[in-house]
């Protein structure tokens, strides 16, 4: 629908905590970045043996499968928030407890290939949502987790959040 460039959000468009993710997103076309990330992450993890996918780098830490599910879950939450605010939602949206979600997801009982397919489908849905937003929609704001946030910030957070976790997969889990 749109060829709108999604500009980097300003500091007042999100809680300070999210700068850690937004700052990881390189300059460029955010939609292309989101698509490229999907392909890069798939290539990184596709074909990983199940025993490596069930590996956690330390006691009490998530397995590779848990990380993949977390990326997808968080992306769904961020995209839902973006959809709500782009459509003019006025009600505040709740926080989510990522650790409770990880336990409830039971990622270890699923095949890595299924988790990767789910990640790709979730990302493609996010890309299609972003493509349909114009400048006015991208600038709209709402409240999530008791903090004001813009639609464009949520999309940048999505990209940076994945980049953060893929970096951890490379550094702490030894994936390359």
List pLDDT tens digits, range 8-52. 999 999 999 999 999 999 999 999 999 999 999 999 999 999 999
pLDDT in tens, 102-130: 999 999 999 999 999 999 999 999 999 99
- Does residue 151 contact residue 86 with C-beta atoms inside 8 Å? yes
Mean pLDDT of 87-110: 97
Distance between CA atoms of 171 and 168, rounded to whole angstroms? 5
For residue range 132-160, what is the model confidence (pLDDT) as tens digits? 999 999 999 999 999 999 999 999 999 99
36, 163 Cβ separation under 8 angstroms: no
pLDDT higher than threshold 80 for residue 3: no
**Percent of the chain at pLDDT above 70?**
98
Instruction: Name the residue among 6, 4, 38 with its Cα closest to residue 122.
Output: 38
Q: What share of the chain is helix, strand, coil (3-state, %, to 5)?
A: 65, 5, 30
Query: Nearest CA to 33 among 8, 64, 69, 11?
Result: 8
Q: What is the pTM of this model?
A: 0.96
Please list, in sequence order, all residues whose beta carbon lies within 8 angstroms of the beta carbon of residue 154, skipping any fewer than 6 positions away: 78, 79, 81, 82, 85
Please name each of the domains of the chain with its CATH number: 13-172 (1.20.120.450)
Give the model's confidence band at 54: pLDDT under 50 very low, under 70 low, under 90 confident, else very high.
very high
Model pLDDT, residue 150: 98
């Amino acid at each position: 629908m749109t060829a709108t460039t999604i500009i980097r959000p300003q500091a007042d468009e999100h809680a300070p905590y999210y700068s850690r993710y937004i700052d990881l997103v390189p300059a460029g076309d955010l939609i292309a970045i989101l698509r490229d990330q999907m392909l890069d992450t798939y290539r990184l993890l596709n074909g990983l043996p199940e025993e490596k996918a069930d590996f956690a780098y330390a006691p009490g830490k998530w397995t590779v499968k848990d990380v993949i599910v977390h990326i997808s879950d968080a992306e769904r939450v961020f995209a839902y928030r973006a959809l709500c605010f782009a459509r003019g939602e006025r009600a505040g949206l709740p926080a989510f407890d990522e650790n409770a979600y990880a336990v409830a997801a039971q990622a270890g009982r699923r095949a890595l290939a299924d988790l990767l397919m789910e990640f790709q489908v979730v990302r493609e849905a996010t890309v299609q949502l972003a493509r349909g937003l114009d400048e006015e929609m991208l600038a709209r704001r709402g409240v999530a987790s008791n903090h004001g946030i813009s639609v464009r910030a949520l999309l940048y957070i999505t990209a940076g959040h994945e980049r953060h976790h893929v970096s951890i997969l490379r550094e702490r889990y030894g994936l390359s």
